[in-house]
Structure 1
């Protein structure tokens, strides 16, 4: 199949902008709990009503006007995911200004480029270090007039500054916002070059979020329970920003968590107790990995692995029955599943706060095995696919008809086309307006209403999309063999010891791999094998560890032909990280940067 489309569920907005939601909800249900916030280091959450949030947004919007921000101006926000991010975005939208999200891990050069390209008039930063990063770029930024620091109390200062401005001034600005007005200039991750500024409109966000609510809103919470979502994805990424807008539009209680590491995230989930989860595959992988390590520490690795196997087989049998290709779980499998639910699965659900039964995964494709595993433990993960240019998801798993291993079908109102070379093209109300200051780049990807994604994929007979790779990631060996690395990389990463895997081999005689290890899993492996604790080169050169990884690679190679298989690998002593510039903030591999950083290691892989 080459084309598939789904009729729309919602009408695009005819007037107004995103900030209208804040004022409408406050007028209709002033005491509705809209957000929850937590002071630094505090365990509990303070609830914020719709009326209180409206007043905060209005006061901040007046302060922005008093400081010189005008309709159509652009303001950078360079901070982790926190409450003030939401305050500022809605205050800016209230006066018709545009948000320019900037990752707090960005280098001075990246910050300078984004602020210069967007012609931002001001920038909100989190703390003094960020202020220094922005300040270092100021000489080349003639339009930048203000830097505000969250940890320096800028929200309070701005709110005080605007006290003499009438509320009506804010409302007159808000009334001038049109659905097609830009809401955000969201920059791509720059995995293949300089980041591009995507012009995302108020209508793009509204159509995306309203479609999700109309089609999947029933999954957000149990009947009679207010939905609650903890946002821990970067709000500087379109996925996180979309989740924020969804919560405000759908009446979901919204909380913020700045760190995504398991040590920080899991306690926050346990205390906030969300009813629904928006995450990336990394989070689901780490939850299972952490649980397995805990089981190993208690001497229950075998029982845990058996429980995970039962979960996968149970979900697979349910899927077969749903697709009318099998009878469903056998009585014996049901019995074992119920037993493990009492002993293990409920504890895994408790890690997420105990109330999550459905989740969404995005950012990159979720493996079929991981999707089945979570379904088997009682949490159905609806995998989707999207890009910065599509305001988040453009495909998703249909309600009650998940096909694990795919990224679902086009969202209602969207269409997918597979070009002759296998490239995925998409169309719909969530597709962006174009690249800022780049008409040539826009013309290259927007073709008669279709957006050429650069990703490769296929549609099955039911319209479900599978991602097979990215056009620019395809490796062409010196023998002329084209290799899409995604399948092999995913299979290698499935092993608990392995954190990341990057295939190389362009213009080389065969495919090789750079592999990093999960630090916690490595410590456990060393303890089990009575090895000296070591996280450096001594550990990765250990003969037993090399043999363990060799077995993983051999098993992964069974999924591909010999010409596509990994012939050599190198274990690296540290994980690729955002701070090194080797991962995007959404945790995708920056392939070119990694190949450049480890050029000597790659050369050694082919030295023989």
Structure 2
């Protein structure tokens, strides 16, 4: 077994609310949270006052220590206030994705035993009620609450919260079976967030240019979004909260962020938006230039132009997590002065395990362990984790399952390798490695990442388990396909030869990454898209491979019959 650990860590024995309280005392006038690009701004002191008022109201409403509070809504100041107030009084946040199905919501409420409920909209409240919730508090209403709890009583509740108390039960959007409720403690969340701040230097706090600024559009229903929120509060970032990724691109020139935290899907969307600002073949030139910069073969210079303006003019780094990122996307953004800091983690580690550091960012890795975390590679290649960020276990129906082995290692299910400097490279996932009938092991993710970069491709899945060769199903971006048909005169037909010829370019590009035995031999364009609502994606937008294969079994069989 090989392993690498980073020992000097930030530790904390109090609850997460002490982060808010401490910032209010140290920098009361500093802006902490903002509603969108130009909405309400909360200083550290004002944020603390709002959290205390809401925490008092929750106590008055009967929220007890350990009560689970289910919260459904998009990212925003109101979500953050509910989050912080629940944690402040020793209750437990149960985040619920707005894109969750009715069955998923019912499972979460039942399995968690939630006793209190908050929702962004009346529609969200109705979905919680249909799933078994009693009284549901609306975000807008809750944000104005301030009940008459005495300061001593509130302080007694807030100071009684300790690091090892439960903070959240986050339901992992597993690609098979019902989601498991993962317990995360105040210690888990602090270790992940604070040591990410420590690991990345001045990025969260700012430098001689002033306070760090970010636009936070990750869902607070996901642990990645939660960890980034607390990292920003700990680091002193001015954080503009946005409802979702689609709202991000239009506001970047207004917010002018210095860094972002995103998933690869969002970076791919920004890259596609930037294409329209470049001349013909400008994207390929940018990728080539950017990769040369990242490999130290070219001077980055001082980038200017419309793409830099699209990004806000000050954006230098993006923490990218949640899935793999195609190297060409990292290269594309590097050409415009933006470095992608790949990171790695999972719900069971409160997100952060490894993060690339701005000063030592290494291409095609997910960085080195954050302080206090040790990464090991088992003899079979599986990535193992130890650290204060690792969950104590699962809740409810999964309470009898343990993610740890007898030696205390968390088994991630991911396959990876550590280089001599401790940088981790993820090479595949044990459950997602395809093994062809000829015994060839194929990692589908790099092929899928590259295929999705084509403008016409909305989503895709690579197949081949137990089969003689590798195939792919593609879905189309409806708007871009419509524009493409207008430009080319192609028919509104997924089988149009011109469409297949265009998509073959994407397939050939993906195949350039792998050997012939791993390459895609056939593909089909299918109706519709892979969506959460259709049960084909998890809430965090991962492919539900079995469900997709069952849905499109006829198309899959047709592909393999074509080469018999």
Q: Same fold (TM over 0.5)?
A: yes
> Where do residues 237-276 of structure 1 align in structure 2 (5 Å cutoff)?
237-261=222-246, 264-276=247-259
**Could you list the per-position Cα deviations for residues 333-373 of structure 1 after superposition, in whole angstroms to 9, with x for gaps in the alignment?**
x5xx759x34xxx4222222222111210011222222222
Q: Judging changes above 3 Å, is the alpha-carbon distance between structure 1 residues 349 and 69 closer, same or farther for their aligned structure 2 residues?
A: same
2:270 maps to which residue?
287
The partner residue of 1:570 within 519, 524, 531 is: 524
The answer as to 2:325 corresponding to 1:366 is yes
Q: Judging changes above 3 Å, is the alpha-carbon distance between structure 1 residues 564 and 28 closer, same or farther for their aligned structure 2 residues?
A: closer
Q: Judging changes above 3 Å, is the alpha-carbon distance between structure 1 residues 459 and 524 closer, same or farther for their aligned structure 2 residues?
A: farther
2:142 maps to which residue?
154
**What count of residue pairs does the alignment treat as equivalent?**
561
**Could you list the per-position Cα deviations for residues 25-57 of structure 1 after superposition, in whole angstroms to 9, with x for gaps in the alignment?**
22333222121124xxxx623321222211211
1:323 maps to which residue?
none
1:3: how far off?
Answer: 2.0
1:97: how far off?
Answer: 0.5
2:163 maps to which residue?
179
Unaligned runs of 5+ in 1: 139-143, 319-327
1:85: how far off?
Answer: 0.8
1:204 maps to which residue?
188
Q: Give the distance between the partners of 1:568 and 1:57, measured in 2 at CA.
A: 56
Check whether the contact 1:434–1:442 (CA below 8 A) recurs between aligned residues: yes
1:389: how far off?
Answer: 0.5
2:4 maps to which residue?
5
The range that moved more, 438-447 or 52-61, is 438-447
Q: Judging changes above 3 Å, is the alpha-carbon distance between structure 1 residues 438 and 414 closer, same or farther for their aligned structure 2 residues?
A: farther
The range that moved more, 415-424 or 426-435, is 415-424
1:251: how far off?
Answer: 1.6
Check whether the contact 1:468–1:486 (CA below 8 A) recurs between aligned residues: no
Q: Judging changes above 3 Å, is the alpha-carbon distance between structure 1 residues 447 and 407 closer, same or farther for their aligned structure 2 residues?
A: farther
1:94: how far off?
Answer: 1.3
Q: Give the distance between the partners of 1:596 and 1:265, measured in 2 at CA.
A: 34
The partner residue of 1:137 within 114, 131, 141 is: 131
The partner residue of 1:96 within 82, 90, 98 is: 90
Check whether the contact 2:68–2:114 (CA below 8 A) recurs between aligned residues: yes
Check whether the contact 1:427–1:450 (CA below 8 A) recurs between aligned residues: yes
Check whether the contact 2:76–2:242 (CA below 8 A) recurs between aligned residues: yes
Could you say which structure has the higher helix fraction? 1
Q: Give the distance between the partners of 2:505 and 2:251, measured in 1 at CA.
A: 37
1:529: how far off?
Answer: 2.3
Q: Judging changes above 3 Å, is the alpha-carbon distance between structure 1 residues 449 and 579 closer, same or farther for their aligned structure 2 residues?
A: same
**Could you list the per-position Cα deviations for residues 377-397 of structure 1 after superposition, in whole angstroms to 9, with x for gaps in the alignment?**
201111001000111120111
Q: Give the distance between the partners of 1:272 and 1:557, measured in 2 at CA.
A: 39
Check whether the contact 2:101–2:533 (CA below 8 A) recurs between aligned residues: no
Q: Give the distance between the partners of 2:134 and 2:489, measured in 1 at CA.
A: 59
Check whether the contact 1:365–1:385 (CA below 8 A) recurs between aligned residues: no
> Where do residues 8-19 of structure 1 align in structure 2 (5 Å cutoff)?
8-13=7-12, 15-19=13-17
SS in 2 for 1:123: strand
The partner residue of 2:50 within 35, 52, 56 is: 56
SS in 2 for 1:190: coil
Unaligned runs of 5+ in 2: none
> Where do residues 144-543 of structure 1 align in structure 2 (5 Å cutoff)?
145-151=134-140, 153-156=141-144, 159-160=145-146, 162=147, 164-220=148-204, 221-261=206-246, 264-295=247-278, 300-316=279-295, 318=296, 328-329=297-298, 341-342=303-304, 346-437=305-396, 442-531=401-490, 534=492, 538=493, 540-543=494-497
What root-mean-square deviation, in Å, do the aligned CA atoms of Structure 1 and Structure 2 show? 2.2
The range that moved more, 493-502 or 424-433, is 493-502
1:424: how far off?
Answer: 1.0
**Could you list the per-position Cα deviations for residues 207-261 of structure 1 after superposition, in whole angstroms to 9, with x for gaps in the alignment?**
1122122221412434241112211001000000111111112221122111212
SS in 2 for 1:24: helix
Check whether the contact 2:286–2:335 (CA below 8 A) recurs between aligned residues: no
Q: Give the distance between the partners of 2:436 and 2:507, measured in 1 at CA.
A: 19
2:554 maps to which residue?
600
1:446: how far off?
Answer: 4.0
**Could you list the per-position Cα deviations for residues 255-298 of structure 1 after superposition, in whole angstroms to 9, with x for gaps in the alignment?**
2111212xx22122222222211011112111121111343xxx
